[in-house]
A and B are shown apart, each in its own frame.
Chain A
Amino acid sequence: MARRVLLVEDEPSIVEAVSFILTRAGWTVHAHADGATALDRARAGAPELVVLDAMLPGRSGFDVLRDLRADPVTAAIPVLMLTARGQERDRDLALRLGATGFMTKPFANAELVAEVRRLAGG
């Protein structure tokens, strides 16, 4: 059975490319453009990993991360945050809120796959 990744990202073409890359690497990707539905999905589907964009419209990625960590059902799921390069404050905030890893945009596809594998434990 394919392993599940939850992708929370609002840019359709990034969603498409990342979904394609991770699917080809053997993952099942569920993508959501907004934080609220992504949280519902995380609680219901127990993904192995969440790939979470920091800059989402409405509730930011940080709000979503905070909620993930506050809920016992989702608190232990590894979260890979996608942040803008050089945004030290974003990284510090994500770290304090319990992010498991970071990836700065734009990233190389191979780097993304390697990081997802690492955080999900191979």
Chain B
Amino acid sequence: MGDGPGPMGARIRERRQEIGLRQAELAQMVGISPSYLNLIEHGRRRIGGKLLLDLARVLRTDPALLAEVADPARLQALRAAAASGEEAGLRPAPEASRVREMAERFPGWAGLVLHQAQRIDALGLRVTELAARLSHDRDLAAALHRVLSGVTSIRAASGILADDPDLDRDWRDRFLANIRGDSEALAEASRALMRYLEAPERSVPAALSPPDEAELWLDARDHLLPEIETGEPVAGPLPEGPAGEALRRWLALCAEDAAALPLGPFGQAALEEEHDPVRLARRTGRPLVQVMRRLVALPPTGGHPRFALAIADASGTLLHRRRIEGFALPREAACPFWPLFEALAQPGRPVRALAEMPEAEGARFLCHAVAEYRMPAAPDETPCLETVMVACPAPGTPPATAAVPLRPVGPGCRLCLRERCPGRREPSILR
């Protein structure tokens, strides 16, 4: 598993010592041998069921507290934080292989690490934005140009005056006049620069890539757009530039979807067809990719699961994404075993798989994917192939997913714990 000794054992030991019991005494009270309890306490045996309940009873604690398991998404985020420490060259490096132990034994510290990692990410984004503003802002560039021109001129003219005390009077007067004029212009340029720098928040050019910026805009709305359902204009301004254009195209597509598959009847059909996109496509007579997009639009109330969505082109580049908790499909260098990519091999053929993340109690996602050619605008235009995948947390118990092939997947090689993976491109930084 690579996550070190089971923290459940450590918690049993801690609790036993808290209430002053010896190992042999506790073992006797729950009817096991002291050597077996020793193995449990050192994480060499995992337990559950009656023994866990008995231990919790004798230790006067809640079995859930003893057996508490860290959320896979939280583990993934902690691993990413550990990876950033490793990349920064921290010595000793963060013990990435013991992330689970850390999360379960020290949930408060783990929370602090996550909080700080998120804060660092947010600050990093802000710094990038400010750097982009400094390097791309025309107003600022013009203000700096005026300052620089003034300084250059004054320096050159004063150099001439200083180097040549016998300078002709006409020339001297001329350069002095230039210095006076330039210094006044420089003072005004400096004041303009200060006004600029002290101005309150203004729109900053986004340093995000257009797909990231579009995703951020949709994330803020959880990808749910109630206005679209009623045919109203979308509230709030769209980003400018390519991200805005991409969003406009996406919103137009969503509006077409909403008109073709109104939310009320579609939601009811989805419940009846157990949210299976293939069955829904057959029932409604609509294209499978349209049904998949509509599944994402279902509100979280009313018994609908939250669906992740990923759309990629034939190169595997992610064009659109809705993330849900624990669903780790990065925009670049993703794991090639996601059904999203498998679907590219046979356009038009739906692929269904139970994707399992690499953690010990890895999160599972029921995935449906299909690749389709986008209709070319002209007869001779090369058609674009796009692959679409929806994924929702898998129902925990068979038989709902018993017939679905299990597919070990991961986020991408660098953050994946599967050592002997046939698709490994580079070593994991978590080992």
- CB neighbours of A14 from chain B (8 A): 149, 152-153, 156
CA distance A16 to B144 in the complex (A): 21
| Cβ of A121 under 8 Å from chain B | no
Tell whether, in the assembled complex, residue A21 and residue B145 are in contact, meaning their CB atoms are under 8 Å apart.
Answer: no
Partner of A21, one of B148, B152, B153, B160: B160
Q: Does B380 contact A (CB under 8 A)?
A: no
Comparing A42-50, A66-74, A91-99, A102-110, the segment that makes contact with chain B is: A102-110
Q: A20-B171, A109-B163 are in contact. Are A13 and B157 (CB under 8 A)?
A: yes
**Which of chain B's residues has its CB closest to A10's CB?**
B149
Is residue A52 contacting chain B, with contact meaning CB distance below 8 A?
no
A17 contacts partner chain B, Cβ-Cβ < 8 Å: yes
Contacts of B337 in A (CB 8 A): none
Inter-chain CB contacts under 8 Å: number? 56
Is B151 in contact with A106, judged by CB distance below 8 angstroms? yes
CA distance A18 to B157 in the complex (A): 9
Question: Are the CB atoms of B148 and A18 closer together than 8 Å?
Answer: no
Chain A interface mostly: helix
Residues of B within 8 A of A110 (CB): 159
**Is the CB of A33 closer than 8 A to any CB of chain B?**
no
Q: Does B178 contact A (CB under 8 A)?
A: yes
Q: Looking at the assembled complex, report how far the CB atom of B166 sits from the nearest CB atom of chain A, in whole angstroms.
A: 12
Instruction: From known contacts A108-B159, A109-B159, infer whether A13 and B182 are also in contact, taking CB-CB under 8 Å.
Output: yes
CA distance A21 to B160 in the complex (A): 7
Type the 1/0 row for A64-86, where 1 means its CB is closer than 8 Å to any CB of B: 00000000000000000000110
Known contacts A11-B153, A14-B153, A108-B155; decide if A20 and B148 are in contact (CB<8 Å).
no
The answer on a CB contact under 8 Å between B145 and A55 is yes
Per DSSP, chain B at the interface is helix
In B156-170, the 8 Å CB interface with A consists of: 156-157, 159-160, 163
Contacts of A18 in B (CB 8 A): 156
A17 touches which of B135, B144, B151, B178 (Cβ 8 Å): B178
- State in angstroms the CA–CA spacing of A109 and B154 once bound together: 11
Q: Nearest CB to that of A54 among chain B residues? A: B145
Contacting residues, chain A, for B155 (C-beta < 8 A) = 106-108
CB contacts (< 8 Å) of B149 on chain A: these are 11, 14, 105
Chain A contacts for B182, CB-based, 8 A = 13
Question: Which residues of chain A (1-45) have a CB below 8 Å from chain B?
Answer: 11, 13-14, 16-18, 20-21
In the complex, chain B residues 35-69 whose Cβ is within 8 Å of any chain A Cβ: none
Q: Is the CB of B159 within 8 A of A105?
A: no
For B157, the chain A residues whose CB sits under 8 A away are: 13, 16-17
- Write out the residue numbers on chain B whose beta carbons fall within 8 Å of the beta carbon of A89: 135
- With a cutoff of 8 Å between Cβ atoms, the chain A residues found around residue B152 in the complex are 11, 14, 105-107
Tell me if A17 and B156 are in contact (CB < 8 A).
Answer: yes
- Report whether A84 and B144 are in contact in the complex, using a CB–CB cutoff of 8 Å: yes
Residues in B neighbouring A13, C-beta threshold 8 A: 153, 157, 178, 181-182
Q: List 11 A-B contacts (CB under 8 A).
A: A11-B152, A13-B181, A17-B157, A17-B175, A18-B156, A21-B160, A105-B152, A106-B152, A106-B155, A106-B156, A108-B159
Q: 6 smallest A-B Cβ distances: which pairs?
A: A17-B156, A106-B152, A109-B159, A13-B153, A13-B178, A105-B152
- Chain A residues proximal to chain B, CB less than 8 Å: 11, 13-14, 16-18, 20-21, 55, 84-85, 89, 105-110
> Which residue numbers of B lie inside 8 Å of A, CB to CB?
135, 144-145, 148-149, 151-157, 159-160, 163, 171, 174-175, 178, 181-182
